[in-house]
A and B are shown apart, each in its own frame.
Chain A
């Protein structure tokens, strides 16, 4: 091929070489376009159709959304799951922002063995979410589980309960397992943020007689603004995308009695779990669109805030 090109004129060769450059972009663009962007757009369009099996049947406008919001049993299930996603978000914000920041501050201060503590706290992040889910389904087992056994061993029998089996504690247990797995990683992000703050600022504040809490409130938290923002948005996205922990510990119907059901498990049941004449695929797609909008808005908001920060500098 190269000898064939050499026979041609210099400019033609240049032009060919220039066009060859687009080959750099092509594989990534095609793979991503075909296996991600197209399915995303198709998923959004599906929400406006009725279905026959897995095939589009008729364009029905917003009917899927109307059914989802007004007709039982879909309406009740949807809002029940939606509520759980919000609870998930609010509890995880506390665990991931407050506990992680607290741990990051301790590790950032003058202590020995920083690296060891960091590594141990990070360990859960290495495990598969499904492995963590299954592991804790054993740990939280009412009779044989380690948690209840541990509580008995230290004389706190009255605290033992069927953590995953009771409607009062099931959702919180799932959220705490999720937090257990994610706190170490959030802590690392805060540590990276803390390390970026120049130590002179803290020295100056100390010389001015500021106490620990004032430094935290007036310097550390404002300076950590970007990390806090990233974490909040990641937690928000995670809370609406969550699936595996619920699936592993409570099954695809979010047991007991739907007390841990979230939008993704409802979506999964509609898309792959039930057969009710094809309506469920359209309804599942409507849930996907609602989640696209919720998550897309959160991400856009974060990007916009970052833009503004860049301009201010």
Chain B
């Protein structure tokens, strides 16, 4: 049965409308970042008359963008790596060894999946203060790792249960110890789970604003999202700088998406459904 032509046309019209709604603000952000403040004011909707990178150079000067980017990279990389490492081991443990307390431990991790962690921010703040970690990147890394663990443990647990035990048994006969089995035999089979956990956590950590807002005071220790607050606080009338800043902070993920759009979309979908 062939779809009727007017139904098809209507579908494309709807899709075009939503393409405009979703794409235009991002498009606007990027092309406005090349305009002068005057040009944004006089012709806000048109394309820039010339592509100059002046705004970028200036925004780089007026706020400490290189520190913000560097801090974001360190915090994201450390958090994602630690979450992957400790959660995959815990998931392996829960899936492979039948200790009596396993169901209790699953419940223990389940609590973290069910309750919104940011509401525990007052005790976290006090704890970081006592540990002397307030206003340091470590406070962020610890919080992101702890926040990422429950979801990652459950995901790895689910994936590890699908790996047949026969593989490990033969490796054990060949003289591998438990850690070698995990590291050399089972982990390489976990690529789909690793990419889901990595992408979900990377997006969360890279884009998070809440914890830096609470924990970080020193300008040189701010991550990009908190740095945007500084920028918007100090230069709220210079929209050329604001658009340039917004574009810089969005570009890394947009570029990553161009190269791995499938992984991003599949990873986040599976992460939510599982």
Chain B, range 245-266, C-beta contacts under 8 Å to A: 246, 249-250, 253-254, 257, 261, 264-265
Is A68 an interface residue, CB under 8 A from the partner? Answer: no
Binds A, one of B57-65, B119-127, B161-169: B119-127
| Contact between chains at B15 and A122 (CB < 8 Å) | no
A69 at the interface (CB under 8 A from B): no
| Max chain A Cβ within 10 angstroms of own Cβ: one of B108, B254, B273 | B273
Does any Cβ of B come within 8 Å of A172's Cβ?
no
Q: Is A146 within 8 A of B268, CB to CB?
A: no
Contact across chains for B209 and A128 when beta carbons are under 8 A apart: yes
**B70-99 contact mask (Cβ, 8 Å, vs A): 1 or 0:** 000000000000100111011011100100
CB distance from B182 to the nearest CB of A (A): 7
User: How many residues does chain B have at the interface if contact means C-beta atoms less than 8 Å apart?
Assistant: 92
Known: A32-B146, A126-B250. A149 touches B11 (CB 8 A): no
Q: In the complex, which residues 122-162 of chain A have their Cβ closer than 8 Å to any Cβ of chain B?
A: 122-131, 134-139, 144-146, 149-150, 153
The reply to whether B264 and A295 form a contact with Cβ atoms under 8 Å apart is no
Q: How far is the CA of A295 from the CA of B273 in the complex (A)?
A: 18
Q: Which residue of A lies closest to B254 (CB)?
A: A126
**B228 to chain A: which residues have CB within 8 Å?**
128, 130-131, 134
- Shortest CB-to-CB span from B21 to chain A, Å, is 7
- Given A272-B214, A285-B122, A32 and B25 contact (CB-CB distance below 8 Å): no
From 136 to 162 in chain B, residues with beta carbon under 8 angstroms from any chain A beta carbon are 142-143, 145-147, 149-150, 153
Asked if B189 is at the interface (CB within 8 A of a chain A CB), the reply is no
- Does B243 belong to the interface (CB within 8 Å)? yes
Is B45 a contact partner of A271 (Cβ separation < 8 A)? no
Q: Please tell me which one of the listed residues B119, B150, B177, B249 contacts residue A292 in the complex, with CB atoms under 8 A apart.
A: B119
Binds B, one of A58-66, A83-91, A102-110: A102-110
Report yes or no: B90 in contact with A24, Cβ–Cβ below 8 A.
Answer: yes
Which residues of chain B have C-beta atoms less than 8 A from A150's C-beta? 45
CB of A76 closer than 8 Å to a CB of B: no
Instruction: Confirm or deny: A6 has a beta carbon within 8 angstroms of a beta carbon on chain B.
Output: no
Per-residue contact bits, chain A 70-90, to B (CB 8 Å; 1 contact, 0 not)? 000000000000000000000
B232, CB-defined interface residue at 8 Å = yes
Q: Across the interface, which residues of A come within 8 angstroms of B242, CB to CB?
A: 134, 138
Rounded to whole angstroms, the CA-CA distance of A287 and B121 in the bound complex is 12
Q: Which of B125, B149, B232, B273 contacts A28 (CB 8 A)?
A: B149
Task: Known contacts A32-B146, A128-B225, A128-B249; decide if A281 and B44 are in contact (CB<8 Å).
Answer: no
Q: Is the CB of B246 within 8 A of A243?
A: no
Contact partners of A192 in chain B: CB under 8 A: 269-270, 273
**Contact (Cβ within 8 A) A31 B22:** no
Residues in chain B near residue A271, CB distance under 8 A: 121-122, 125
Contact with B along A91-129 (1 / 0, CB 8 A): 000000000000100110111000101111111111111
Dominant SS among interface residues on chain A: helix
A118–B257 CA distance with the chains assembled, in angstroms = 12
Q: Report B-chain residues with C-beta under 8 Å of the C-beta of A138.
A: 239, 242-243
Which residues of A are found within 8 Å of B93, using beta-carbon distances? 21-22, 24-25
Which chain A positions have C-beta within 8 A of B8? 110-111
Q: Which of A28, A34, A191: most chain B Cβ within 10 A? A: A28
- Is A144 touching B22 in the complex (CB atoms < 8 A)? no
Chain A residues contacting B125 (CB-CB under 8 Å) are: 54, 271
B118 touching A281, Cβ below 8 Å: no
Q: Which of B24, B111, B119, B145 contacts A31 (CB under 8 A)? A: B145
- B114 pairs with A295, CB closer than 8 A: yes
Q: Are B15 and A25 in contact, with the CB atoms below 8 A?
A: no
Contact present for B23 and A24 (CB under 8 Å): no
A54, chain B: closest CB distance, angstroms: 5
Using known A-B contacts A128-B224, A281-B122, determine if residue A36 contacts B117 with beta carbons closer than 8 Å.
Answer: yes
Given A46-B122, A271-B122: A20 and B86 interface contact (C-beta under 8 Å): no
Interface residue B178 (Cβ < 8 Å from any Cβ of A): yes
User: In the complex, A299 Cα to B114 Cα: how many Å?
Assistant: 6
Q: Assess whether A120 is in contact with B124, with CB atoms less than 8 Å apart.
A: no
Complex Cα gap A79–B213 (Å): 26
Can you give 28 contacting A-B residue pairs, CB < 8 Å? Answer: A17-B178, A27-B86, A27-B89, A28-B87, A32-B150, A34-B146, A35-B124, A36-B146, A43-B121, A54-B129, A117-B15, A117-B18, A119-B265, A123-B23, A128-B207, A130-B209, A130-B225, A131-B207, A134-B232, A134-B242, A184-B22, A188-B269, A189-B272, A191-B269, A192-B270, A264-B119, A291-B119, A296-B114
Closest 6 CB pairs of A and B: A35-B146, A128-B207, A28-B90, A39-B120, A42-B123, A24-B93
